[in-house]
């Protein structure tokens, strides 16, 4: 995760002005996001782009759609690291995916995605399975995020950040098993033959996706305030089939209402299974 260092200190009123302008220009609403989180990310963006006042930031995003897009992208951390929490990826390969072998169709969901690292980690793990039966749905935060996930530009930084994880994978010997270089960029070695379905979707407002066998919702709730955390997790749990699996971030917690619906499968790993029936 990026370390944020900024000497800018926006007041609450100034931050509200900025976010109100972003909403007017892009229709992207940060009102339910964590205030302290958005404040840190906005100040970091300003410092990185030599913007020293709220007024200057508003002026510049009004005059540059590219800068506006970069501002929204900046809120969501660049992960760089593939196979983060490698023990979990090994568990998914050994304990979860084999359970899908007898199914005629397997539906996987990556909601609210802002980067390609998690998806391509999963696609690599799938190399040892028949993937024709898999349908993977990816909803991006914005159109720009969807475009980058469809055509990821993995760099030397991605390779370097991922090397330790790769050395602990049970499906790879070293980084050359996972990455190959193509015209100065790095691609992940995948043999996926199923469907990849991309869309930009505000899953708090639009159609409800449902009946998934496995949902990846890692490190998304850090963006949200208390209200939106509960709403987002409830949505994700409702999208699971009974008996299906949910992956959360290592440090993310669930409230008592959600605990009644999902079972924690492994101590030390944030993997859960939707209960097939609820006790009253």
pLDDT at res. 82: 95
Element containing residue 240 per DSSP (H, E) = strand 240-248
Query: Which alpha helices (DSSP H) does 131-190 contain, by range?
Result: 143-150, 156-168, 175-178
The 8 Å CB, 24+ separation contacts for 119-124 are: 119/149, 120/82, 120/152, 120/154, 120/188, 120/190, 121/82, 121/83, 121/84, 121/89, 122/92, 122/216, 123/188, 123/190, 123/192, 124/82, 124/171, 124/172, 124/178, 124/188, 124/189, 124/190
Domain with CATH 3.40.50.150 in the chain: 86-274
Q: How far apart are CA 77 and CA 133, in angstroms?
A: 32
pLDDT at res. 34: 86
Q: What is the layout of strands, in order, in the sheet containing 271-274?
A: 195-200, 134-140, 106-113, 212-217, 240-248, 271-274, 262-264
- CB 165 within 8 Å of CB 224: no
pLDDT at res. 280: 42
pLDDT at res. 132: 94
CATH architecture of 86-274: 3-Layer(aba) Sandwich (3.40)
> Along the 280 residues of the chain, how does pLDDT read in single tens digits?
444 455 789 999 999 999 999 999 998 888 878 888 899 999 999 999 999 999 999 999 999 999 999 999 888 876 789 999 999 999 999 999 999 999 999 999 999 898 999 999 999 999 999 999 999 999 988 888 899 999 998 999 999 999 999 999 998 888 999 999 988 899 999 999 999 999 887 666 655 577 999 999 988 888 888 888 888 888 888 889 999 999 998 777 777 778 888 898 988 889 999 988 654 4
């Amino acid at each position: 995760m990026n370390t944020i260092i900024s000497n800018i200190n926006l007041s609450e009123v100034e931050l509200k002005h900025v976010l109100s302008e972003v909403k007017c220009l892009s229709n992207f609403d940060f009102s339910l996001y964590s205030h302290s989180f958005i404040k840190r990310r906005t100040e970091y963006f300003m410092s990185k782009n030599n913007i020293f006042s709220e007024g200057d930031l508003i002026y510049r995003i009004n005059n540059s759609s590219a800068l506006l897009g970069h501002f929204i992208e900046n809120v969501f951390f660049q992960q760089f690291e593939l196979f983060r929490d490698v023990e979990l990826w090994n568990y998914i390969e050994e304990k979860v995916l084999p359970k899908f072998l007898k199914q005629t169709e397997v539906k996987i969901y990556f909601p609210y995605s802002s980067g390609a690292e998690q998806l391509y980690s999963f696609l690599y793990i799938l190399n040892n399975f028949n993937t024709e039966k898999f349908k993977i749905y990816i909803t991006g935060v914005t159109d720009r995020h969807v475009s980058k996930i469809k055509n990821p530009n993995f760099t030397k930084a991605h390779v370097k950040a991922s090397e330790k994880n790769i050395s602990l994978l049970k499906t790879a010997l070293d980084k050359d098993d996972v990455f190959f270089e193509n015209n100065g960029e790095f691609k992940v070695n995948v043999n996926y033959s199923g469907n990849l379905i991309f869309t930009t979707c505000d899953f708090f407002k639009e159609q409800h996706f449902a009946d998934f066998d496995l949902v990846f919702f890692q490190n998304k709730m850090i963006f949200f305030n208390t209200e939106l955390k509960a709403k987002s997790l409830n949505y994700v749990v409702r999208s699971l089939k009974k008996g299906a699996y949910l992956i959360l971030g290592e440090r993310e917690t669930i409230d008592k209402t959600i605990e009644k619906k999902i079972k924690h499968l492994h101590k030390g790993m944030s993997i859960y299974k939707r209960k097939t029936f609820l006790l009253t």
